[in-house]
Amino acid sequence: VHAIYTPLKQYLKVPERELPGLLANEEILIKGNRLLTPLLDKSSFGGSYIDIKANKININIVDSSKKNDIMSNPVMEEYLNLLYFKKVSNSLDKLNTALNELHNMAKRYNATNLTLSNEYEFNKIIVYLNVNGYEKNKAFIDNAEKIYPNLLHIVNKAENKISFNFSSSSSTLKTREIEKVIFGGDRLISEDGDLCTAGFWARQDNFNYLITAGHCAKDNTHTPDGNVNFYHDTNPRYFIGEMTHYEYQEVDYGFIFVDNPEILIIPNIKNVGNDTYRELFIIGTVDIDTVGSHICIAGAFSHVSCGNITAINVSADLKDGGKLEGAIITTAITQSGDSGGPAFQFHDRFPQYVYLVGISIAGGANYSFIEPLNKILDYGMIPVSYDPNLFDFDTPP
């Protein structure tokens, strides 16, 4: 029954039979961490994050005398056995100040293709560099390491790679009858042959939109109206609609307007490689606010992969001088062509049901970037999902 959890099993490295219990525990840890976060004095603590396998809320503490303030607070009474205090050197105030100063320093040195991330597990500022990014940003890195020798960690330096995940098509087309259904995780192709991944369906004022990454339309041929045509990369491919609005700096999303009654609007995610559950069903959305919680991505080429959230509200400096703001970093792995794919979390007891959290927008050697829903959706735009009241969650799976 639980074979659908295979991507989670690979990420957590535990027997599949243990996963429903771990997901149930994760929900409790997230609730506890949400109650804890407002209690943490930023000058005495270095943030908190959950550990699903250990079933703990890890609290980075600088001033050990403040431990009792948390333990004696009635808000945390139900969660005391889940708390683990980890002695660290860097407070959240110290890290946030350093992060802001490093962003300003990056501007002064014209640093590009790098991401600065405050990651609680390491109690450091992590610098993610693009391929060849170390040499190009050497002046910035040398000065940053000199000023913050105990606060900074450079990821893989010259070996690491960050890339927007779209690629060019080389597929050959054959004519056959196809059913016009587009799932999250399906392959999309732009007018000029760039491949990306379908994210999710959304509605606004009774109009239907397919959401994907905005950079998929960058540098493409535009229609007279300034839009970009997109197709479902099936065999043969067929026209979906025009991307009528897209952004790829500060935020990264694109809205493909779909006005074709032959295309079915179904809130399913393709789950390639799983014969028991070939599709996952979106039953709602969830905001990501807890470092350490699980997240999965459905890419057209990587298929479903899972990992944990290592940082939220992350900024990235791009090679063209632009910037991404408010992204999520995860250890889930994506590859070229996966941009735009849906990011989601599993239901804790029913593995065929998932909660949408955003879309994949970029990836590297050991991590990926997620654009969260609250950065994507226009006013009044609502993701299409199944009504949870239609399902029996009281009966064991």
pLDDT digits (tens, 9 = 90+) for 253-263: 999 999 888 89
Q: How far apart are CA 214 and CA 258, in angstroms?
A: 16
pLDDT at 21 over 80: yes
Characterize the bridge pairing of strands 56-61 and 83-87: parallel
**Which residues 6+ apart lie within 8 Å of 2 measured at CB?**
16, 17, 19, 20, 351, 397
Strand-pairing partners, residue 239, are: 231
What phi and psi values does residue 345 have, to the nearest 5 degrees?
-125, 145
Q: How far apart are CA 144 and CA 101, in angstroms?
A: 9
**Mean pLDDT score, 184-199:** 94
**Mean pLDDT score, 139-145:** 90
Name the pLDDT band for 395 (thresholds 50, 70, 90).
low
Greater confidence (219 vs 47) lies with 47
The reported pLDDT for the residue numbered 393 is 59
Mean of the per-residue pLDDT values of the chain:
87
Q: Quick one: the chain helix, strand, coil %, rounded to 5?
A: 25, 35, 40
Q: How far apart are CA 126 and CA 353, in angstroms?
A: 34
Q: How far apart are CA 59 and CA 227, in angstroms?
A: 48
pLDDT at 214 over 70: yes
pLDDT at 234 over 70: yes
**Mean pLDDT score, 166-190:** 63
Please report where in the chains the tokens 């930023």 appear, as a residue: 42
Residues 68-108 have pLDDT tens digits of 999 999 999 999 999 999 999 999 999 999 999 998 998 89
The reported pLDDT for the residue numbered 3 is 59
The reported pLDDT for the residue numbered 189 is 93
The reported pLDDT for the residue numbered 277 is 79
Greater confidence (40 vs 163) lies with 40
| Helical packing angle, 92-108 and 138-147, nearest 10° | 150
The size of the chain, in residues, is 397
Name the pLDDT band for 175 (thresholds 50, 70, 90).
very low
pLDDT > 70: percent of the chain: 88
pLDDT at 212 over 90: yes
Q: How far is CA 83 from CA 32, 40, 53, 56, 261, in A?
A: 9, 13, 14, 6, 53
Greater confidence (23 vs 351) lies with 23
Residue 193 one-letter amino acid: G
